[in-house]
């Protein structure tokens, strides 16, 4: 029993001592822009990190009661190729209670207190270099920047932080509808002033623009320089119905061009991937309604008079050739709906009514 009473407080003291030691150095880090989708090789020169743009920041603190002599290390990894490069600074002093904040540029700046003195490029980086020769950017993958602060005299006193980056490299942008690419034949005609636009891409943010073709325009690019009929930015969607409000209306008899630009965040800022320019015409919706009425009217008359009689009326040379309905039907001095006319045709077919004669006025 006496041995247990002695060991217990010693174990407790040991645990407390280790916990306090580990807490004497603290490190934190993060990217200035964590939404990066494209990472150009020139922006991450593994042999000269000082040439990179502002990518990440590092904050480290000596929370202990005594000054320390420490080393800061960095390792860059990716899931596909493993460790790409690693390095560490020369030892430097970090006073008790002192917090320092640096960036990736400090790690590569010649003569900097935090310059990486030992920087080794792993064999995997050679494979990575071959993978990016065609695009100049890091391939799609998950990248990890592992930063560690460590006491030189007591390596057990240390802290680390890993910041992760997902590179997607959006490369595709294809328009689907409406219309077709301009300068490749007659543009299709739409019979709606509220068309739905659809495109396909592996990007996540888009700039969408519709412009009207004017007589003064000489090229598709010239059209897209006109004041937009509608322009907006879209996130996480690849379709849009032309708004009925909040935009200049699309009008019958006019021609419109549209284009989508994928917006991609890179280490050098946002860049755009442009789609082709497509176009379409807007036809008269009234003509569509008349054509629809004509189809229904002919169907009802066929029920009343038969196919041969109706074809003779509407074909070339017939009394109703090129006839366009007014939308008004009279029967015994009153107007009928199309549905009522269809009911009359059903009554003729069933023998309730009989047509004796007909003529065209």
Q: Work out the percent of the chain whose per-residue pLDDT is above 70.
A: 76
At 28, phi and psi to the nearest 5? -140, 155
Does the pLDDT value for residue 358 go beyond 80? no
User: What is the predicted pLDDT for the residue at 44?
Assistant: 54
Distance CA 162, CA 6 (A): 40
The dihedral region occupied by 306, where left means phi > 0, alpha psi between -120 and 50, and beta the remainder, is left
- Cα–Cα distances in angstroms (integers) from residue 53 to residues 33, 43, 47, 144, 153, in the given order: 11, 6, 14, 18, 34
User: What is the predicted pLDDT for the residue at 8?
Assistant: 31
User: What is the predicted pLDDT for the residue at 233?
Assistant: 94
Q: Work out the percent of the chain whose per-residue pLDDT is above 90.
A: 34
Does the pLDDT value for residue 314 go beyond 60? yes
Does the pLDDT value for residue 328 go beyond 80? no
What's the whole-model pTM score?
Answer: 0.53
Structure tokens at 57: 């920041």
Distance CA 69, CA 92 (A): 6
Average pLDDT over residues 249-266: 90
Q: What is the DSSP letter of 50?
A: G
Average pLDDT over residues 71-80: 89
The total number of residues shown for the chain amounts to: 361
Is pLDDT larger for residue 118 or for residue 127?
Answer: 118
305: closest CA among 359, 262, 232?
359
pLDDT band at 278 (very low <50, low <70, confident <90, very high): very high
pLDDT in tens, 142-194: 889 999 999 999 998 999 999 998 877 777 889 999 999 998 888 988 888 89
Q: Where are the alpha helices (DSSP H) in the chain?
A: 2-22, 104-108, 123-132, 220-224, 285-305, 307-314, 338-349
Is pLDDT larger for residue 351 or for residue 219?
Answer: 219
User: What is the predicted pLDDT for the residue at 109?
Assistant: 79
Check: CB of residue 225 under 8 Å from CB of residue 231: no
User: What is the predicted pLDDT for the residue at 286?
Assistant: 61
Evaluate the CA torsion angle 50, 57, 156, 78 in order and state its sign. negative
- Cα–Cα distances in angstroms (integers) from residue 122 to residues 24, 114, 129, 273, in the given order: 32, 21, 11, 33
Please measure the distance between the N-terminal and C-terminal CA atoms of the chain and give it in whole angstroms: 122
- The answer to which of 44-53, 184-193, 241-250, 258-267 has the lowest mean pLDDT is 44-53
Q: What angle do CA 101, 104, 106 make, to 5 degrees?
A: 70
Instruction: Write down all domains in the chain, each with its CATH number in brackets.
Output: 22-167 (2.60.40.10), 173-282 (2.60.40.10), 285-349 (no CATH)
Does the pLDDT value for residue 126 go beyond 80? no
Average pLDDT over residues 202-218: 92
Quickly list DSSP for 298-334: HHHHHHHH-HHHHHHHHSTTSTTTT----S-EEETTE
**Burial class for 356, CB neighbours closer than 10 Å (0-12, 13-18, 19+):** exposed
Does the pLDDT value for residue 122 go beyond 90? no
């Amino acid at each position: 029993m006496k041995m247990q009473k002695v060991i217990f407080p010693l174990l407790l003291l040991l645990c407390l001592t280790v916990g306090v030691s580990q807490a004497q150095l603290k490190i934190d880090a993060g990217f200035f822009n964590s939404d990066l989708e494209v990472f150009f090789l020139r922006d991450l020169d593994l042999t000269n990190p000082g040439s990179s743009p502002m990518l990440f920041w590092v904050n480290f603190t000596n929370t202990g009661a005594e000054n320390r002599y420490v080393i800061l290390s960095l390792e860059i990894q990716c899931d596909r190729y493993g460790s790409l490069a690693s390095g560490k600074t020369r030892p430097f002093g970090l006073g008790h209670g002192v917090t320092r904040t640096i960036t990736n540029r400090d790690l590569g700046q010649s003569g900097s207190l935090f310059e990486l003195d030992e920087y080794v490029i792993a064999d995997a980086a050679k494979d990575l270099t071959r993978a990016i020769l065609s695009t100049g950017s890091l391939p799609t993958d998950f990248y990890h920047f592992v930063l560690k602060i460590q006491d030189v005299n007591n390596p057990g006193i240390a802290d680390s932080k890993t910041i992760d980056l997902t590179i997607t490299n959006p490369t595709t942008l294809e328009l689907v509808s409406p219309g077709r690419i301009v300068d490749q034949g007659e543009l299709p005609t739409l019979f709606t002033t509220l068309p739905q636009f659809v495109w396909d891409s592996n990007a996540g943010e888009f700039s969408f623009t519709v412009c009207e073709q004017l007589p003064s325009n000489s090229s598709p690019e010239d059209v897209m320089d006109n004041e937009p009929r509608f322009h907006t930015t879209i996130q996480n969607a690849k379709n849009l119905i032309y708004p009925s409000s909040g935009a200049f209306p699309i009008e019958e008899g006019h021609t419109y061009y549209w284009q989508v630009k994928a917006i991609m965040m890179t280490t050098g800022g946002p860049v755009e991937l442009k789609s082709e320019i497509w176009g379409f015409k807007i036809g008269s919706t009234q003509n569509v309604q008349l054509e629809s009425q004509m189809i229904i009217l002919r169907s009802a008359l066929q029920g009343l008079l038969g196919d041969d009689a109706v074809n003779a009326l509407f074909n070339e040379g017939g009394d109703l050739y090129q006839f366009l309905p007014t939308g008004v039907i009279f029967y015994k001095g009153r107007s009928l709906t199309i549905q009522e006319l269809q009911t009359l045709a059903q009554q003729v077919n069933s023998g309730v009514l009989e047509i004796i004669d007909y003529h065209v006025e």
